[in-house]
């Protein structure tokens, strides 16, 4: 009973450790209604950190509906990338703000 | 020079500023008042749209207008407080408010799709006029660097609104 429970936890810890060691955090800023960089390349498991430097609320919303991250004024929002592919995203409040995320497996 | 000046006058005339159209350069306290008033007008128009509009995109656009203009006007209030400037009422602000009240009354008589179309069409025209006044008169006239920078940020935001409004207008056709 006891060892049966500890083993999966140890395995999970190992797995988690190996994933986080490889994963990176990519920062993308939103300033003066521009997404910079407008094209970013990441890998599955990476974390995207959108930094909203404006006094306005923004969102990072995938065109295909896969993600929708709310970014209040002067705040940061994160997303752990789970799927490979090319994702076009925009700000729902300011549809002129557009960018692309390319996710490698 | 003459061409630029007349373009600026045309922009202000479009906003209906009798005093400024005579060629006087607005002062910073007047500019702050005009910019703040222009924002409040768009918030009032958006609130009317939120209670009357039927189209989903129009409602979303109106929500965006309230959110953004409130945020910018809060910045403006914080700035005048910091600079210890009292915004000064002036003929441009007065005419803007008068025209806006008339527009609200006019739109109030409309309903359904007719209201949606008229509201969005007015948003396109209004943002065009305000952006043109910002670009040609208010920004060049502003003396204080922080005020100038806030107006420039505002212009960028409102240009986005103009395009957003044009997009919604096209969808309604």
CA B102 vs CA B14, B92, B98, B118, B169: distances in Å: 15, 15, 6, 13, 22
Q: What 3-state DSSP class applies to B78? A: helix
| Optimal mutation site among A61, A96, A97, A98, interface B, most CBs of chain B within 10 A | A96
Token pair, residue B77, equals 């209030």
Q: Residue A98 pLDDT more than 90?
A: yes
- What tokens were used for B63? 């929500």
User: Which residues on A lie below 8 Å from B67 (Cβ)?
Assistant: 56-57, 93
Q: B110 pLDDT exceeds 60? A: yes
Quote the pLDDT of residue B17.
43
Dist CA B14 CA B57 (whole Å): 28
How much of chain B is in helix, strand and coil states, percent to nearest 5?
85, 0, 15
Query: Is the Cβ–Cβ distance between B134 and B158 less than 8 Å?
Result: yes
Q: Determine the pLDDT at residue B23.
A: 57
The structural domain count of chain B equals: 1
Kindly report, residue by residue over B50-62, the tens digit of the pLDDT.
Answer: 999 999 999 999 9
- Under the banding of pLDDT at 50, 70 and 90, the label for residue B15 is low
**Does residue B114 have a pLDDT over 50?**
yes
Which chain A residue has its CA at the smallest distance from B60's CA? A93
Strands A58-62, A68-71: pairing is antiparallel
The pLDDT, as a whole number, for residue B44 is 97
Structural domains in chain A, CATH included, are 24-104 (2.60.40.420)
The pLDDT confidence band at residue B3, using thresholds 50, 70 and 90, is: very low
Full residue range of the structural domain in which residue B49 is found: 2-172
- Whether the pLDDT of residue B99 is over 60: the answer is yes
pLDDT in tens, A64-89: 999 999 999 999 999 999 999 999 99
Secondary-structure percent of chain A, ordered helix, strand, coil, rounded to 5: 20, 45, 35
- CATH assignment of the domain containing B73: 1.20.1260.10
Cα–Cα distance for residue pair B76/B40, rounded to 1 Å? 12
pLDDT digits (tens, 9 = 90+) for B29-52: 999 999 999 999 999 999 999 999
pLDDT at B121: 97
């Amino acid at each position: 009973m006891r060892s049966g429970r500890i083993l999966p936890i140890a395995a999970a810890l190992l797995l988690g450790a190996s994933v986080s060691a490889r994963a990176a955090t990519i920062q993308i800023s939103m300033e003066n209604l521009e997404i910079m960089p407008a094209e970013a390349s990441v890998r599955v498991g990476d974390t995207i950190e959108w930094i909203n430097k404006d006094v306005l609320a923004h969102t990072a919303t995938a065109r295909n509906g896969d993600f929708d991250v709310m970014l209040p004024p002067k705040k940061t929002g994160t997303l752990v990338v789970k799927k490979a592919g090319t994702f076009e995203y925009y700000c729902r409040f300011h549809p002129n703000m557009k960018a692309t995320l390319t996710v490698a497996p | 020079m003459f061409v630029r000046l007349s373009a600026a006058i045309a922009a202000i005339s479009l906003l209906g500023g009798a005093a400024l159209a005579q060629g006087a350069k607005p002062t910073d306290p007047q500019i702050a008042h005009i910019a703040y008033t222009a924002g409040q007008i768009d918030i009032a128009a958006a609130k009317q749209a939120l209670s009357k509009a039927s189209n989903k995109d129009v409602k979303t656009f109106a929500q965006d207008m309230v959110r953004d203009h409130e945020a910018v006007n809060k910045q403006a209030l914080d700035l005048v407080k910091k600079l210890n400037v009292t915004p000064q009422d002036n003929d441009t602000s007065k005419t803007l408010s008068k025209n806006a009240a008339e527009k609200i009354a006019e739109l109030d008589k409309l309903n359904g799709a007719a209201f949606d179309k008229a509201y969005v069409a007015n948003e396109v025209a209004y943002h065009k006029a305000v952006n043109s006044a910002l670009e040609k008169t208010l920004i060049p006239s502003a003396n204080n660097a922080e005020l100038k920078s806030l107006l420039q940020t505002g212009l960028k935001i409102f240009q986005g609104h103009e395009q957003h409004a044009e997009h919604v207008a096209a969808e309604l056709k």
